[in-house]
Amino acid sequence: MSSVHQAEESRTQRYRGVSYTTPIDAAKEAVPVIDLADRLAGPGKMRRVGKTWTTNCLLPKHEDRSPSLVVYPETNSWFCFSCLRGGDVVELARLVWEYDERDAHIAAAMLLMEFGHEVPQRPLSWHSRQSRQARARRAIENAKVRRVQRRIYRWILAPPLANIEDKDERHEEIGHAWEDAGKIARHLVVHSEVRR
User: 63 vs 110, which has greater pLDDT?
Assistant: 110
Provide the residue ranges of all domains of the chain, joining segments of one domain with +: 8-114, 133-195
- Convert 146-182 to b/e letters by CB count within 10 Å (16 or more is b): eebbeebbeeebeeeeeeeeeeeeeeeebeebeeebb
Q: Residue 84 carries which DSSP code?
A: T
Regarding the domain delimited by 8-114, which CATH topology (the fold level of the hierarchy) does it fall under? DNA Primase; Chain A (3.90.580)
Instruction: Say if residues 111 and 31 touch (Cβ distance below 8 Å).
Output: yes
pLDDT tens profile 73-115: 999 999 999 889 999 999 999 999 999 888 898 899 999 999 9
In the predicted model, what is the mean pLDDT of residues 114-143? Answer: 86
- Hey, which bits of the chain come out as E strands? 47-49, 52-55, 69-72, 77-80, 85-87
Q: Which of 24, 22, 28 is nearest to 75 (CA)?
A: 28
Q: Rounded to two decimals, what is the model's pTM?
A: 0.58
